Amino acid sequence: MSYEVYLDNIFIGYVEDYEDFIRDFKEKRRSGIIPEFVNISLDEDRKIVEINTRKGRILRPLIVVKDKKPLLTKEDIEKLSRGELSWSDLEKMGVIEWVDPEEEENLKVALYPEDIKDDTTHLEVSSLIIFGIATSLNPFSNKNQSARLNRGVRPLKQSHAIYSLNYHNRFDTDISILYYPQQPIVRTFSNKIFQKENLIGQNVVVAVMTQDGYNIEDALIMSKSSIERGIFRSVYFRSYEVEKLRYPGGLQDEIGIPDPSIELYRGKDKYKYLEEDGIVSLESYVSADDVIVGRTSPPRFLGLSSESITTGLRKKDSSLTMGGGEEGYVDSVVVTESPDGNTLIKIRVRDLRIPELGDKFTVRHGQKGVIGMIVEGTDVPWSSSGIRPDIIFSPAGIPSRETFGLLLELLGGKVGSLNGRYVDGTPWYGEDEEELRKELLSLGFKDDGTETLYNPITGDEFKAKIFIGSLYYLRLKYMAKNKLQARATGPITLLTKQPTEGKSKKGGLRFSEMENEVLAAHGSSILLREMFSSDDSVIFVCESCGSLATEDNIRNRLYCPVCGETEKISKVKVSYGFTLLLKELISIGIWPRLKLDYKF
Partner 1 sequence: MDLPKRIKEEVEKSNNKELYSLVENFYNKMKIDPGEPIGIITAQSIGEPTTQMILRSFHFVGIAQSQASLGLPRLVEITDARKKMKGRYMIIRLLDEYKNDIKVAEDVAKKLKELLLEDLIQEVSIDIFENKIIIELDENKMNMEDINKTELIKLLKKRLKRYTVNSDNNIVEVILKKGKPSELYLLKDNIKKMLIKGIKGIKDVTISQENNEYILYAIGSNLQEVMKIPEVDYTKVYTNDIKEIEKILGIEAARNAIFNEIKKLYNDQGLNVDNRHFMLLADVLTWYGSYLGINRYGLHAEKDSVLSKAAFETPIPIFMRASMMGESDPVLSSIDNIIINQPIFLGTGLYNIFYQAPKNKE
CB of 398 to partner 1, least distance (A): 22
CB 110 within 8 A of CB 117: yes
Q: What end-to-end distance do the CA atoms of the chain give, in Å?
A: 96
Q: Is the Cβ of residue 483 or residue 593 nearer to partner 1 in the bound state?
A: 593
Residue numbers at the binding site for partner 1 (CB under 8 A): 516-518, 520-526, 528-529, 532-533, 535-536, 573-575, 577-578, 581, 585, 590, 595, 598-600
Q: Is the Cβ of residue 88 or residue 524 nearer to partner 1 in the bound state?
A: 524
Q: Vertex 263, ends 274 and 505: CA angle to 5°?
A: 75
CB of 515 to partner 1, least distance (A): 12
Q: How far is CA 480 from the centre of its chain?
A: 14
CB of 549 to partner 1, least distance (A): 15
Q: Is the Cβ of residue 374 or residue 528 nearer to partner 1 in the bound state?
A: 528
Q: Mapping DSSP to helix (H, G, I), strand (E, B) and coil, where does residue 335 land? A: strand
Q: Vertex 13, ends 10 and 17: CA angle to 5°?
A: 125
Q: Is the Cβ of residue 434 or residue 597 nearer to partner 1 in the bound state?
A: 597
CB of 529 to partner 1, least distance (A): 5
CB of 271 to partner 1, least distance (A): 41
CB of 141 to partner 1, least distance (A): 28
Q: For 288, phi and psi rounded to 5 degrees? A: -55, 140
Maximum pairwise Cα distance, the chain: 108
Q: Is the Cβ of residue 357 or residue 581 nearer to partner 1 in the bound state?
A: 581
Reported in sequence order, the residue ranges of 318-401 that DSSP labels E, i.e. its strands, are 320-321, 328-337, 343-353, 360-362, 368-375, 382-383, 391-393
CB of 519 to partner 1, least distance (A): 9
d(Cα 273, Cα 264) in Å, to the nearest integer? 18
d(Cα 490, Cα 483) in Å, to the nearest integer? 18
Q: Is the Cβ of residue 379 or residue 543 nearer to partner 1 in the bound state?
A: 543
Nearest Cα neighbor of 29 from 69, 68, 59, 2 is 59
Q: Is the Cβ of residue 88 or residue 516 nearer to partner 1 in the bound state?
A: 516
- 8-state DSSP, 167: G
Reported in sequence order, the residue ranges of 67-208 that DSSP labels E, i.e. its strands, are 69-70, 96-99, 109-110, 122-123, 174-178, 186-187, 202-208
Q: Is the Cβ of residue 103 or residue 535 nearer to partner 1 in the bound state?
A: 535
Amino acid occupying residue 534 = S
Amino acid occupying residue 255 = I
Nearest Cα neighbor of 451 from 494, 360, 510, 388 is 388
Q: Is the Cβ of residue 357 or residue 518 nearer to partner 1 in the bound state?
A: 518
CB of 578 to partner 1, least distance (A): 4
CB of 565 to partner 1, least distance (A): 13
Q: Is the Cβ of residue 130 or residue 520 nearer to partner 1 in the bound state?
A: 520
- Sign (positive or negative) of CA dihedral 317, 322, 328, 330: negative
d(Cα 171, Cα 332) in Å, to the nearest integer? 9
CB of 3 to partner 1, least distance (A): 43
Question: 186-187 and 423-424: which strand pairing?
Answer: parallel
CB 468 within 8 A of CB 207: yes
